[in-house]
Amino acid sequence: MNGSAPVFTVPVTLADYAKAAQARFARPDWDFLEGGAGDERTLAANLAAFDQISLHPRALAGIGLPDTKTEILGRTWAAPLAIAPMAYHTLARPEGEVATARGAGVAGLPLVVSTFASRTFEDIAAAGTGPLWLQVYCFRDRALTQALIERAERSGMEALVLTVDAPRLGHRLRDVRNAFRLPAGITPANLTGNGFDSPSVHAQGEFDPTLDWSVIGWLRSISALPVLVKGILTPKDALRAVAAGVDGIVVSNHGGRQLDGAPATLDVLPDIVAAVAGFCPVLLDGGIRRGTDVLAALALGADAALLGRPALHGLAVAGADGVSDVLGIVTSELTTAMALTGTGSVAAAGRELVATQRQGNSAYTSPPAATPPPRRAGAASLRKEELHGSVSDPVLDTMNFLNEITTRYPEAVSFAPGRPYDGFFDTEQIFTYLRRYLDHLETQGASPEQVRSALFQYGPTSGQIRELIADFLRKDEGIDVPPESIVVTVGAQEAMLLTVRALIAGPQDVLLVSSPCYIGITGAARLLDIHPAPVEETEAGFSVPAVTAALHAVRAQGQRPRAFYVIPDHSNPSGITMSMETRRRLLNMAAREDILLVEDSPYRLVSPGPQLPTLKSMDTGRRVVHLGSLSKTLFPGARVGFAVADQTVTDTTGRTTLLADELSKIKSMVTVNTSPVSQALVAGMLLAADGRASNLNVATARYYGDAMRATLEALERAFPRRERERTGVRWNEPSGGFFLSVTVPFRADTAALTRSAEDFGVIWTPMSYFYPGGGGECALRLSVSSLTHPQIKDGIGRLAAFIKEQAPPTRA
């Protein structure tokens, strides 16, 4: 530094602070401080992008004082602004990051602390009162990286920001010209003693150049903190980040400074926001110099912006007070810009606020087709955290992501969907079966008006084909129940929702589920604010003693177990079938423990060979609520399911009804009734087969059985016994159904799924999706039902190539 600072007027803009700060430094020190992680071209591109943005004013908006507060990762910030990670703050001021943290805390805004901070994490955390995040570089020495993260977490930091665009930091032109070296005594305080005593080391070969998206999973395995990635510049990488499960994205081009023509962050922001589609916050870093810049970033989709060099200017001029003043200037300018544009809140900033002089820059002259309509100032703007928690539940997000992956890679072989094979359907059958049911009504004495009403009117809530379903259950499944104990539903999914809603009366009631478990039941429970209690299965299935122990554990907590949900035959996702002995013991346990069993049974009639009896057919004490579906067996598009609920319900006056009647009451407030046309179609199919759905599934059961065998044989060829022993790859061998489970020697998560689809052209489902209490990280589900044999052979070949490439190397 040049000694005492010259006299200057009190800074009132960021430009004033920059000028005052520059006067305090010799040229080499200033160039290093001002250059940051980028060079002249990077900074110029970012500044030019903001300079060519204009904001549309709006008069008489009537918004009052604009609200700049926002919430990121569960923490409320005073403004959508944070201090970006920058190394060696002690070059600007001896207190360094301690003063920066203190100033950020006064402003109520976060500081992202650099791995190369010149003060210790503990000292920084002690000084800061606002949120602190740690910027992470992943070193070749993972143990060093882990130690840093653990130390930061212990000090109270709240998130990790992984820099992903700098596998190697190159030379900065200004520093080369100046032959710059950091002054003695300025070191990376948290790395000293680990080979980083010399600050220049971090610009060379210590970063891990082999990083891929699996690093996100590794970070999660060593820390519970949220993980953001910094350095995303393309929608494709944004999608990969989302697939890897990140908690946030920072659009930043600092690592791209060596690429000629690297885009400005503002130019790529809208397309990245569109790709992320709300899955996680998107922050922008680069070029923020005014409050209007922050509003422009918000209008183009960012959730917040990071401020870099100006914070150091404030630190250099006035320490912590200068940092808080710089942040206050930007926040004040943002408030003014919001008032002039009629923007009442951060969430109300929409694309219509901005215009650009860059005619032809498609990045933000017009929204991409997939982007939601612009938010208008004054229009209703909802915050996701104000909606029901189920919309943010990972179960719903994972299935949306799986559907998106399937759509994005249409040429991939997909073992994901558990849907019937398309080759069984003939369009003309629709008219044949519909006429068959109408003829049935006429032979039963229905008048033309009654026949017409049976198709065109709502019909009874409990269903108009209950007698035919009761006949089918008696003939095919050995379940002998009166028609009035049946409720016809919109698929088995509605039957689950109605049953769970009826049985779980309050927070003291508990639904138990097998784990892994079909996500339809856990999703339905989540919609109702119910958190199922998992009963862990082994590879051989669950045990009755495990269910009993879970029941006792629930009661020990003062709660009341009400029911246990299970798929006894060819379960989804694992494909396991419950033994006859286990069925008997489970029914005895239900009577002894006074709970109900909710039996879901969609795969029996589409599986080859004789099937074991259903729990309901063995139920002498009305302990089983049986859920069924005619989608897999007859007509998927009709979406007809049913619940058999013959349990008696007694009210306070002693009057008794059937549980089916209570389910119908709930259904009347949900779907009113099941489509009469859908009911007519499946009824016509049952009538054409003499009431036996099994007669219509001889060929389908054979086909699915052959598909399962073809899959198992292809796996056997791809992974001979010795290779299975070497790699740890193994799978179960279901006797029917649509699904099997494959265990692999790596995390089969969304990041691995994306790579499998993108690089190998094969899609599967992570088993971890199906574990409500966590688990299944190293397993995947394969569905064989919708594929031809050539597709299965091809798909297993692709899957084997992926697994072998993804598996860690084994020692000879």
**Residues with a known catalytic role:** 254
List CB contacts of 5: < 8 A, sequence separation 6 or more: 20, 23, 24, 317
CA nearest 84: which of 60, 53, 114?
114
Contact 49, 265 (CB under 8 A): yes
- Distance (Å, whole) CA 158 – CA 18: 30
Q: Among 717, 795, 785, which residue's Cα sits nearest to residue 761? A: 795
Q: Cα(11)–Cα(328) distance, rounded to whole angstroms?
A: 12
Helix (H) or strand (E) holding 146: helix 142-155
Task: Tabulate helix, strand, coil % of the chain (nearest 5).
Answer: 45, 15, 40
Amino acid identity for residue 439 in this structure: D
> Which amino acid, residue 423?
G
| Helical ranges in 380-490 per DSSP H | 394-408, 428-443, 448-456, 466-472
- Specify the pairing of strand 159-163 against strand 132-136: parallel
Tokens representing residue 65 in the block: 């004082």
DSSP 737-804: SSEEEEE-SS--SHHHHHHIIIII-EE-EEGGGG-TTS--TTEEEEE-TT--HHHHHHHHHHHHHHHH
How many other CB atoms are there within 10 angstroms of residue 127's CB atom?
21
What is the 8-class DSSP label of residue 515?
Answer: E
Q: Tokens 């810009």 sit at which residue?
A: 337
Local structure of 203: helix, strand or coil: helix
Cα three-residue angle 773-777-781, rounded to 5 degrees: 100
- Please report, for residues 44, 90, 295, 423, 466, the alpha-carbon distance to residue 429 in angstroms, rounded to integers and kept in the order given: 67, 79, 58, 13, 22
Beta-bridge partners for 113: 134
Number of alpha carbons in the 13 Å side-chain half-sphere of residue 706: 11
